Each structure stands twice: as structure tokens, then as C-alpha cells.
Homo-oligomer: A and B are copies of this chain.
Amino acid sequence: MRRSIATVSLSGTLEEKLAAAARVGFDGVEIFESDLVSCPASPTEVRLRTCDLGLDIVLYQPFRDFEAVPGDLLDVNLRRAERKFAVMADLGVDLMLVCSNVAPGTIDDDDLAAEQLHRLAERAASNGVRIAYEALAWGRQVADYAHAWKIVDAADHPNLGVCLDSFHILSRGADPAGIRDIPGQKLFFVQLSDAIPILMDVLRWSRHYRCFPGQGGFDLTGFVEHVLATGYRGPLSLEVFNDVLRQADAERTATDALRSLVALEESLRRRLEASTAGPGAWGRRRVQARDEVELAAPPAPVEPSGFAFVEITVDPLAEMAAELLLRDAGFAHVASHRTKSVRMWQQGEARVLLNRTRPSHKDWPRGGAAVSAIAVESPEPGRSADRAKQMLAPATPRSRGPDEADLFATAAPDGTEVFFCRTAPVDAATRPPDSWLGDFDQQVIDDLAGGGTIARVDHVALSQPPYYFDEASLFYQSVLGLLRHDSVELADPHGLVRSQALTSAGGAIRLVLTVPAIGGGLLPESAHFQHIAFACHDIFAAAGAMRNRELPVLAIPGNYYDDLAARLDLDRSRIEPLRAHGILYDRDGGGEFFHFYTTMLGRRMFFEFVQRVNGYQGYGASNTPVRMAAQYRHMAMAGLIP
């Protein structure tokens, strides 16, 4: 399908918006009037620029408060429309969006609205213009798309049709199935946006909290399926009003936007392919859409079997500290990269690479450490990489020695590199070219079998820059095929932090994304935190062994255990072992969760050790505020916080 975006969805001036949309690969744009009004170039000059960029102008909008008005106002409104038709002629666009009247004086008379829209359509026709009438969710008399269609149907003019905007329909809880009653040739335009589910005044919701498909709560796949069933074959256009995107980089937003459309098309294609002709007109039209409409078809996600490794970038100070932490936690240094300053530490199936070569550390504090890459263990790394590329994941340029594995790497929006790879046992003669282990000189790997208290990486938690959460979540969902879970809000002493888990279908990959609730102000320290959580076979044994090796464990206040006992009605025999080991506890249905933390490794990182019992699926969120307060105190007292 043709892919379009409204200029209001991107930041910058008109010329900057057009350039971003074109560079990323959109086919068309809707021109928002205020962008043109603020532009020193004439409409003709804008047309030429757009043409040069290979973009179609698919819509001019909005034309407001036209219909169902007293006669004298109609004349004024028609004059206003004529002036805009002239602008549109210069712009080279023939479709104008007219949104339903919101003025207090709007007359509640569908016949009058139809008659006046007919008049407008006649004028439009003589100017070569078509009118797409849209019901705003807060329209004075017309707020529902079926109502708008009824009026358009009654007006009965070939240059008059409807525009459907998913926000205005789904925000009101209207059933989108009624879309099928509109003939495709009268459906002139379709605008898509998602929105985070909040109960609020719909106008405010619309103007500030829209987002791209897949980032909110609407079923846009179902919505577009209805649209296609009408026979509509025009563009899908993203119209997203969002405070954050207005303040973001336009090209970054455009990439995010296009990715959301690709993911939507994929989901739509799957749904249409699963459909059969069936007996009714609806089934036939679905099949027709499936055969006629060209939709993105990336390879299906490959189910990963875990983390192949997690890479931490360190400076020399942090490298030593990380090695001591890992050793105290029972890890062994099992291999070193053949050409780079990268050492692999392993316990069970948990592999941590410490990379000292990668970053320019200039803006780091001393003792800098950060999760720089995660490697997804994939049975088919090539197919995973193909999917990533089709989901607009940018390939990261990599320097590779002649015998080294050819790993595809991409950069997530937060800067984390993501690899797809296979951890095949290495034999110099037969090693498959996609096993990354061959790049390392093996040392003591056999000694690990059966030993140790840690089984694998349970999850990796990655902080996101303020406001880039939706983009990151969509990236990990679409590129890695992860599922998102509900987000929670957690109180750091210096701000709320939002946290969301993303997991692969089988649960082998678990990521936790965190972001401060607001940007600006004094960001909490935890806004920068990242950590790796390791799954233990027996957390009490692990904690005991690690304490014996003097692993520095984050101290948990006694008040926490007193509250835990009160809150969960736990007796001394349950509480005291937790208190003695500094282990935090959570439960959820039948499941239980035990976990503890190391102190900080630099200003951003730490490790967690966890044990899940009876299918506990969470991350101990109720304990996170206690952890964050303890970390803040520890860091502040160590002089780490300026």
C-alpha cells in the first residue's frame, strides 16, 4: 500500500518535514495548513520541492467549521473555500479534508449539512478538487463516522466522500465494522494513529497523546482490514499529534513511523492470509483485498532460545571491578577474543563479554561500564537478520577479521547493539561460519560443566532516554518479534520510572525497558541504569556462596523486612532467612520471586541474581523502589552523585 504521513506528525519546518519523510521512504504526505502558512515559499514552490523529493501531496488539511451553518455564514465559508482551492491548485493536490463543524452555532440538521456539503462539492468540482468529510470525535453535531457517511451519502456528489481517522473512531469506542457499509469509492482517505489507553477528555487525548500503530492500545489491524474490505486502495496515512514527537528529530520519527506501518502491514497480511473466502460478501472482499493489495512480507520472527551473550563496555578500571564481581559471583574467564580486547566470562549458559576496545570514553566518568550489546541466540541468524533489515533496523558497520564470524548487528534506538547468532560448539575444521565462539581462544570452558550456581541470563534491563520509550518498544517488538507486557510505574527517590517487559513467545529472551516518567528536571540516577539479571538454581545457596567470596551485595533496610512481614503476613521463619541474605521477595498468584543485587559497577550498571519459583512471571517491581533508594544512598555517600 502507499504510505503517507501528515506533516504535523514530524517536527521542524515544512521543508525539514518533507525532507525527512522522503529520505526515509514515504510515498506521500498530507500538508497541514499551519506548516504552509509559516513557510516563506509559495505553494507553487512547495509543489516543486515535493516533486523533486519524489513525494506526492495526498491531502490538504484541515478545512474547519464549514457545514450546517446559517445562510450568510455559508457564503463566507464558500469564499474561504475558494481561496483554499486556489492554494491547492498551486500545491498540486486535489483532496481537501473538511472536518465536522465544532462551532457552538452549528445547526443540528443533517439535511442542511448535506445540502451545504453538496454546494461545497460543486465548487470543488469546478476547481478539480475532491472533499473528504471527517467526523471529529468532538464535532458539535457530527462526531461519529457513520453519521458523517450518512450525510455524505445524502449529499450525493461524486466529489464528496469521507475520510476515516482511526483515532476519532476508536477513541470513542465505536465499532469499526460499520466501515464495511461504506463503498470503497466513497472512502476518499484513511488516517491512522494509535493512542495510549487513558481515560481523558478526547480533545486533549487527541492533541497530545497519539502515537504510531503498535505503540498504543487500538486494534489497527482490524481497523485497516475493514477499510480494505470496502475496496479502498488509497494510501494509509499517519496523522499523529504528540508533544514528544514535536520535540524529536524528524528523521528519527519518520523511521519509527515507517516501521510502524511495515509492522502493521505484516500483521494485516497474516490476518488476510488466514482468511478464507467464506459464503458472504465480506469474506469475498477480504480475499480480494489479500490478492490485490501489496503488503510488507518480512520473514516471520525466529524464536530465540536465549541470550548468546551480553556485552559490557568497560574502561580499564571498570573492567577490573567487573571481573572481580563476576569471579565473586562464580563466573570463570573462559575465553578471549582472538583480535580484540574482549574477554568472555561464563557460568552455566550465562556469557558476559567485557569489551575494553569499543567506546570512546571521553564523556564517561572514570569507572564507566555499560551494556553495549545483547546477542540473541537464534537457530537461523540469517533469517533473523533479514527480518531486522526489513523492519528498518539500521545495520551497524563492523570491523571483522578474515576468519571471524559474520554476525549481523543492528543498533536499537537506545544505542544497544543487537546481534543474532548461533553458539555452536567450535571445531576448527567444521565450525559453522555463524558461530561466534570461533572468534575466541577457548581456555577453560570444560571446567564449567555442572558447576556453578547460575544457570543463564534471566533478563537484561535497559534504560531508555526520556521520551524514546515507544520507539524502543516498537523496535524490539518488531525487529526481535518480542511481545510487550503491561508497563508499571515505580518511584525512584528522584522521580517516577516507567518499566515495561518484552519477552519472546517462549520466554527465553526477557528485556526490561525503563524510562523516566518525564524528561528534563533533575533526572533520577536510575534514568541511566542498566543491569543483567542471572537466574540461579538455588538463590539462598548462591547468596551464601557469593557472600563467602565477599561479593558486595546491595544492603536492604531492615524496615523493608518489617514491612514485608506485615504486608504479606510472613512469620519469622520466612522473613529471617531473607533478611540474613539480603534477599528481596515477591509473589504473584502461586509464583514466588527471590532476588538480590550487587552494588554499582560504575554509575550505570549492576548485577541481579534471581530465582523464579512456580512460574512467577514478573520482575519484583514492588521491590524496585527500595532497590533504587538503596542505590541512590550508596552512590551519594560514595560521592558518585554530583
Q: Footprint of B on A, CB under 8 Å?
A: 11-13, 16, 33-34, 36-40, 42-43, 76, 79-80, 83-84, 87, 198-201, 204, 207-208, 243-244, 246-249, 465-467, 489, 491-496, 516-524, 555, 557-560, 562-563, 565-567, 569, 625-626, 629-630, 632-633
Do A80 and B569 have beta carbons less than 8 Å apart? Answer: yes
A13-B633, A519-B518, A557-B38 in contact; A87/B625 too (CB < 8 A)?
A: no
* A523 CB, min distance to chain B CBs, angstroms: 7
A83-B562, A520-B466 in contact; A495/B200 too (CB < 8 A)?
A: no
Residue of B nearest to A522 (CB): B247
- 22 example contacts (A-B, Cβ-Cβ < 8 A) are as follows A13-B493, A34-B491, A37-B560, A37-B563, A38-B493, A38-B625, A38-B629, A40-B555, A40-B558, A42-B558, A83-B566, A207-B489, A208-B496, A243-B496, A244-B518, A246-B492, A246-B494, A247-B494, A247-B516, A247-B524, A248-B522, A519-B519
A562-B83, A569-B79 in contact; A557/B494 too (CB < 8 A)?
A: no
Do A249 and B467 have beta carbons less than 8 Å apart? Answer: no
Q: Copy number of this protein in the oligomer?
A: 2
Of B38, B248, B633, the residue contacting A626 (CB under 8 A) is B38
* A333 CB, min distance to chain B CBs, angstroms: 35
* A197 CB, min distance to chain B CBs, angstroms: 10
* A80 CB, min distance to chain B CBs, angstroms: 5
Residue of B nearest to A83 (CB): B566
Instruction: Please indicate the chain B residues that have their CB under 8 angstroms from the CB of A560 in the complex.
Output: 37-38
Instruction: Please indicate the chain B residues that have their CB under 8 angstroms from the CB of A629 in the complex.
Output: 13, 38-39
Instruction: Please indicate the chain B residues that have their CB under 8 angstroms from the CB of A516 in the complex.
Output: 247
Docked CA distance A246–B492 (Å): 8
Instruction: Please indicate the chain B residues that have their CB under 8 angstroms from the CB of A42 in the complex.
Output: 558-559
Do B563 and A518 have beta carbons less than 8 Å apart? Answer: no
Instruction: Please indicate the chain B residues that have their CB under 8 angstroms from the CB of A36 in the complex.
Output: 559, 563
Do A83 and B13 have beta carbons less than 8 Å apart? Answer: no
Residue of B nearest to A527 (CB): B247
A11-B493, A80-B566 in contact; A520/B517 too (CB < 8 A)?
A: no
A496-B246, A518-B247, A633-B13 in contact; A33/B563 too (CB < 8 A)?
A: yes
Query: Counting chain B CB atoms within 10 Å of each CB, which of A198, A207, A491 scores highest?
Result: A491
Instruction: Please indicate the chain B residues that have their CB under 8 angstroms from the CB of A199 in the complex.
Output: 200-201, 204
Known: A244-B521, A247-B524, A519-B521. 9 other contacts (CB 8 A): A38-B559, A38-B630, A198-B200, A199-B200, A246-B491, A247-B495, A467-B520, A519-B520, A520-B520
* A70 CB, min distance to chain B CBs, angstroms: 15
Do B495 and A246 have beta carbons less than 8 Å apart? Answer: yes
Instruction: Please indicate the chain B residues that have their CB under 8 angstroms from the CB of A37 in the complex.
Output: 557, 559-560, 563, 626
Do B521 and A466 have beta carbons less than 8 Å apart? Answer: yes
Residue of B nearest to A524 (CB): B247
Docked CA distance A33–B626 (Å): 12
Instruction: Please indicate the chain B residues that have their CB under 8 angstroms from the CB of A520 in the complex.
Output: 247, 465-467, 518-520
Docked CA distance A625–B520 (Å): 23
Of B247, B555, B566, the residue contacting A84 (CB under 8 A) is B566
Instruction: Please indicate the chain B residues that have their CB under 8 angstroms from the CB of A13 in the complex.
Output: 493, 629, 632-633
Docked CA distance A116–B353 (Å): 58
Docked CA distance A39–B560 (Å): 8
A201-B198, A494-B11 in contact; A247/B566 too (CB < 8 A)?
A: no
Do A11 and B518 have beta carbons less than 8 Å apart? Answer: no
Docked CA distance A244–B625 (Å): 17
Docked CA distance A555–B38 (Å): 11
Do B518 and A87 have beta carbons less than 8 Å apart? Answer: no
* A127 CB, min distance to chain B CBs, angstroms: 14
Query: Counting chain B CB atoms within 10 Å of each CB, which of A34, A84, A208, A629 scores highest?
Result: A629
A204-B198, A559-B43 in contact; A567/B494 too (CB < 8 A)?
A: no
Do B559 and A39 have beta carbons less than 8 Å apart? Answer: yes
Query: Counting chain B CB atoms within 10 Å of each CB, which of A33, A494, A567 scores highest?
Result: A494
Do B204 and A247 have beta carbons less than 8 Å apart? Answer: no
The 10 closest A-B CB pairs, nearest first, are: A519-B520, A38-B629, A200-B200, A199-B201, A247-B521, A83-B566, A247-B495, A466-B520, A40-B557, A520-B520
Do B80 and A567 have beta carbons less than 8 Å apart? Answer: yes
Instruction: Please indicate the chain B residues that have their CB under 8 angstroms from the CB of A563 in the complex.
Output: 33, 36-37
